Amino acid sequence: MILPELQAGTLVRRYKRFLADITDAQGKLLTIHCPNTGAMTGCVDPGNKVYYSRSDNAKRKYPHTLEFIESPHGLVGVNTGRANRLIEDALRSGVITELGQWPAAQIQAEAAIPSGAGRFDFLLSQGTEQIFVEVKSVTLHVEAGLGAFPDAVSTRALKHVEELQLQVRQGARGVLLFCVQHLGIERVSAAAHIDPKYAEAVRKAAENGVEILAYACKTDLRTMSLSHRLPFDFCP
């Protein structure tokens, strides 16, 4: 994935979930869009170096978008809107070996959950084969290379895990795919210390046939792509 041109700045604060104040290279204060609904724990310390893009869309109230933050443990991609694009590119190219290579015509984004309980990020279908894929973006670094999801209690994420189990019971494949946009993370777990119900649900889902995958990303701030599988720890 080719990234938009990025500019460097310094984080002042993140607030109201979708906004951040930064100073640009000339010291000018800017309010920019922060496309991340999570707590972004460990990423949003004032003074951290940030990279942001600019949109030419004149209708946008905030033309700049926060893309990356330099945390003490490594560069973090905080634009969660890019996670699904990264996964879709990887599905088309076959990077996710457990799922194989899929042509665009067989990849349905934002697929309705058959039970009517919302949407999964992707449905891969070929003949009678169906694979439901739910993507979660990991930015929380806990310790010594360990990343975790979620960074706040998430009833929505819990519901997705439960729905994946339901689809497996009905004969489809269900995949919970953690997209790790934190370059300092080397393994992943469910954040039991933050959301124990979610962690227990993931453990049970794995026992019931849901496939749990975690993949790292790589970037040079000009391009970004999925790179390799990371271990998932059920008992970190």
57-88 pLDDT tens trace = 999 999 999 999 999 899 999 998 899 999 99
138-159 average pLDDT score = 93
Cα four-point dihedral sign 57, 58, 61, 63: positive
Cα four-point dihedral sign 123, 102, 149, 172: positive
Domains in the chain, please, with CATH? 7-77 (2.40.50.580), 81-233 (3.40.1350.60)
**Whole-number pLDDT of residue 84:** 94
User: Model's pTM, two decimal places?
Assistant: 0.94
94: left (phi over 0), alpha (psi -120 to 50) or beta: left
191-220 average pLDDT score = 96
pLDDT at 144 over 90: no
